Chain A
Amino acid sequence: MSDRQSTEIAAPTFLRLSGLHKRFGEAVVIEELSIEVKQGEFFALLGPSGCGKTTTLRMLAGFIEPDAGSIFLDGVSIERLPSHRREAAMVFQNYALFPHMTVFDNIAFGLKMQKRPKAEIIERVHEAMRLVRLPSYDQRFPKELSGGQQQRVALARALVLRPKLLLLDEPLSNLDANLRKALRDEVIEIHRITGTTTIFVTHDLEEALVMADRVAVMNKGRVEQCGTPQDIFLRPATAFVADFIGHENVVEGELFQDILKKDALQIRVPINRRSDTAALARFAVLASNIELSEQPLDCYDNCFVGTINRIRFYGGVTRVTANVGSCQFIVQVGSSAVTRRFSEGMQVYLAWASVDMVEIKTDAAT
């Protein structure tokens, strides 16, 4: 799974959204939105609720017409095309299965609309059911299925059409945690098998990072940053992205050469971020990249003494809040025998490598 993320897909642009605008009454929902997606890519639209990601997906599906801008799919302008002529199949958050039809009829619906021969319909429906690992529940009704099975029917119903574009609207958010993880892997696997270009809307960071080839982080109807999961996570382009990604330890100070000064604290930053004139800068370090120890750790070029002021146990990980000088750092460590020795009020050393410091540009600069 990790290697599929590092392989950038070398294909021409398959889907191009350019300069999209949409307003509902007074509210501007989408502003100057441009995204390019390659053929076969698994592309995530990530953002908090109200950022316009679902509106974007619905414009792709043909449920909402943009006020301005264009959408090209496989070289054809589709932004004014009605939904039923787009070949962009959508899987809804609430599945939106036809309650009066059996599982078979639900999946066969699109093929029946295309007036395919009966034998072909039967074969393709069963093929789609095998693809999503749905037991042969042909004659059951959606109400007689579990949430996960309903989700599989919804996926099969879209995939059976072999669409040019598969649109997923938070398809996993209605499932419980374990099932969500299992289905997540299955969706990745299905994408690997079919190679369908997929646009995936989610507010769940982990889901986007694990599943997508590339991610667009959206905020207030705009794309804040678009890149591979590694790009987004390790090199957040804006303060919003850094915040959304969960960079909790942001230090704002004066940067001179490769030292970030904040009051008495002098933090070493990557050498390629050095500045020869003193300038205001912001850097962040991930909570999980800081090591916590009772002794000083010389193997890191940043090591400070601090005081633990809070310990929170999260099961597999333990999060420790510590004060270092005038700053507060959150440290995430694996729960182990060592971490059990820490206690609130204790003096500890916090250490991390300067290369793990991520510069966060101020929004005005971008």
Chain B
Amino acid sequence: MKWGWLFSLPAMLFFSTFFLLPLVALGIRSFFETTGAGAWTFSLATYREIFTDPYHLGLMWRTVKLSAITTCVSLLLAFPVALHLRQMSSRMRALVTLAVLSPLLTSVIVRTLAWLVLLGPQGTINRALISIGWQPYQLMYNDVGVVIGLTHVFLGYMILSLMATLDRVDDNILLAASNLGANRWAVLWHVIIPLSLPGMLTGAVLVFTMSASTYATPVLLGGSKAKVLAAEIYDLAINYLEFGMAAGMAVVLLLVVASMVFCVTRYVEGGRRKVIFE
């Protein structure tokens, strides 16, 4: 296998040409300013603007906040599902897995339009609320709509991650806990949750990074009132041709996501947890 690495060359070449190189270019671009025709100077003005302008800081905060909320909501929704799936027949599991992954198989436009029909000011939910005499509730063009939309798409990743770890938990360990005097809740709290921590973290990293960087769902369900970083980058680059700012924002988004992944990895592999989590 001395020459085995040769087989990975096509993929490596593809990634470095079309992904790594542009990324580096983007990073470099964010540190330069055009001064007059064709002249470039090194400058930190872009970052100064991003980190001092309350508007941009607000966007950053909302992006992180929405991603974090989506992650938490997904975790809370996914955990009972994954736990229940443990006991199901493999046939039922395949069906449920398909069902939770179905949002990913649907076009983002169709999916979002469907949410529009349900959540809109004149949508099914609000009409139902009005018909029973309640006040209509703003479910779209705000943070609520974005979280609902993102959770819908990414919940499947969380369920799959949790399933992967929960499936490896030996039934006898749960029986042992109950045999030693733990009731259902104690088994859940002291055994199941700690043992599914790796799955929770993997799922959280996936959902958080995808939520933070996704574009279409927050734009369509959040509108201009719940704008996120990805939408701002798109606007800057396509509508305002502010490539320097767009590049800077992209770098900031990348750093936010990367630091999150880094922290989780460090946590999982840190100290003696490595022994427990293999």
Contact = CB atoms under 8 A, between A and B. Distances in A.
Contact of A83 (B170, B175, B186, B275): B175
A157 interface: yes
B268 interface: no
B145 to A, nearest CB: 39
21 contacts: A63-B179, A82-B183, A84-B178, A84-B180, A84-B181, A88-B179, A89-B180, A90-B175, A90-B176, A96-B172, A96-B173, A96-B175, A97-B176, A98-B191, A99-B276, A100-B194, A100-B276, A141-B272, A144-B275, A161-B180, A161-B181
B256 interface: no
Interface residues of A, number: 28
A337 interface: no
Contacts of A109: 177, 180, 182, 190
Residue in B173, B181, B194 with the greatest tally of chain A CB atoms within 10 Å: B181
Contacts of A99: 173, 195, 276
Contacts of B178: 62, 82-84
Interface of A: 61-63, 82-86, 88-90, 92, 94, 96-100, 109-110, 113-114, 141, 143-144, 157-158, 161
Given A99-B276, A113-B186, A84 B194 contact: no
Q: Would you call the interface of chain B mostly helix, strand, loop, or mixed?
A: helix
Contact of A61 (B179, B194, B275): B179
B194 A110 contact: no
B195 A63 contact: no
Nearest to B175: A63
Given A92-B172, A96-B173, A113 B180 contact: yes
A84 B183 contact: yes
Interface of B: 170, 172-173, 175-183, 186, 190-191, 194-195, 197, 272, 275-276
Given A96-B170, A98-B173, A141 B180 contact: no
By CB atoms of chain B within 10 A, which of A110, A114, A143 has the most?
A110
Interface centre among A94, A100, A143 (most CB of B within 10 A): A100
Contacts of A82: 178, 183
Contacts of B175: 61, 63, 83, 90, 92, 96
A109 B181 CA distance: 8
Contacts of B191: 98
B179 A84 contact: yes
Nearest to A58: B175
A266 to B, nearest CB: 56
Contact of A94 (B172, B177, B197): B172
